[in-house]
Amino acid sequence: MAGVPNTYDAPVHIAVIGGTGISSLPGFSLAATLDIDTPWGKPSSPVSIVTHASPSTGASIPIAFISRHGLHHELAPHEVKNQANIAALRHLGVRTIIAFSAVGSLQEEIRPRDFVVPDQIIDRTKGIRPFTFFEKGMVGHVGFGDPFDKRLAEIVRRCGHSLEGEGVTLHDKGTVICMEGPQFSTRAESNMYRTWGGSVINMSALPEAKLAREAEIGYQMICMATDYDCWRGNGEEDVNVEMVMAHMKANAENAQRFMAAVLNELTKEENGELVLAKHMEGQMRFAGAMTKKEGRGQEAEKKLQWLFPGYFE
Ligand SMILES: CSC[C@H]1O[C@H](OP(=O)(O)O)[C@H](O)[C@@H]1O
Ligand SMILES: Nc1ncnc2[nH]cnc12
């Protein structure tokens, strides 16, 4: 964009990944648009840096933003540049990601336009998406028992509840089924996911959440229900794109207010430690260095040195 700087020198600790229907962060002032090249290629979109005034100090805090499906929704779920997105954000200094996702509801009580702060994921992707930074001669294993960051989730829940009564309904927990897509589920699959305890379904929680964990970044997804998938049957309309977009559009203002409330909270001085994910710092120095020096793939090692300067010397 003309006149907007294409560099940003200070570290950025907080990022938002926007999903379907959220391709920008309106209402914030744009400080820079960055065209970042990572060893895993370019991110889904240029990285926008917007600023937000901290409610506790008044300081102007930078927030990075990536549009998961590209600026014009040109990337299908299996084409999203997950490795490059997460690598670019970590390289900028990001240690906290809030990710938005439009989801189908698998439970009657989660109604279209309700928000869910999930705490679990079931992986139904098909192994066709690049899903790790640790491969090709650099083996690493990281814990994923709780795929979301519990402390971030607490903050997000508090913010969501503070908007209740103003048109926001929030469910505190839930299991996301992350399917491959891009086609929606069959009715048999949708019913099976319900028997598994699935709360909502999307096509993008993974590998995004896994890569964030590998990159030592605290990650929480905020889901917004847009449909009841296809499990209701009996003349109820099955999910379709029009339905998803209509609910996203109708509830965009609530999604923005939710996001603003979360950013308000995360930019408070008292949350500085949490935002820096100090509890995760250094975990990959050991968990990501299983491969002895003499067995390492050189290219893989170089890529990881870009991501984690100083870890794998
Ligand atoms: C347009 S419906 C399917 C699409 O919507 C969700 O996108 P996102 O998670 O990026 O908000 C879902 O995961 C699918 O990619
Ligand atoms: N029913 C559904 N299945 C998968 N992803 C979705 N995103 C929104 N609704 C969805």
Instruction: Evaluate: CB of 190 within 6 angstroms of ligand 2.
Output: no
pLDDT in tens for each of the 313 residues of the chain?
668 999 999 999 999 999 999 989 888 999 999 999 999 999 999 999 999 988 888 889 999 999 999 999 999 999 999 999 999 999 999 999 999 999 999 999 999 999 999 999 999 999 999 999 999 999 999 999 999 999 999 999 999 999 998 889 999 999 999 999 999 999 999 999 999 999 999 999 999 999 999 999 999 999 999 999 999 988 889 999 999 999 999 999 999 999 999 999 999 999 999 999 999 999 999 877 789 999 999 999 999 999 999 998 8
For residues 300 and 166, give the distance between their C-alpha atoms in angstroms, rounded to a whole number.
Answer: 49
pLDDT for the residue numbered 26: 86
Domains annotated for the chain, with CATH where assigned, are 14-231+272-307 (3.40.50.1580)
* DSSP three-state, residue 163: coil
Expressed in angstroms and rounded, the spacing between residue 300 Cα and the centre of ligand 2 is: 34
User: What would the DSSP string read from start to end of 248-268?
Assistant: HHHTHHHHHHHHHHHHHHHTS
Does the Cβ of 49 fall within 6 Å of ligand 2?
Answer: no
Q: State the pairing for strand pair 120-124/14-18.
A: unpaired
Q: Which ligand is nearest to the CA of 206?
A: 1
203 marked among binding-site residues: yes
Which pTM does this prediction carry? 0.97
Q: Is 251 a pocket residue for ligand 1 (Cβ < 6 Å)?
A: no
Catalytic residues: 227, 229
Helices (H), the chain: 82-92, 150-162, 187-195, 208-214, 241-250, 252-266, 272-275, 283-287, 298-307
Ligand 1 touching residue 19 (CB < 6 A) = yes
Using CB atoms within 10 Å of the CB of residue 151, give its burial: 0 to 12 exposed, 13 to 18 middle, 19+ buried.
Answer: middle
Closest protein CA for atom 9 of ligand 1:
101
pLDDT, position 178: 98
Of 121, 179, 180, 201, which is best to mutate to test ligand 2, by the most ligand atoms within 8 angstroms of its C-beta? 201
Amino acid letter for position 247: H
69 is in an annotated binding site: yes
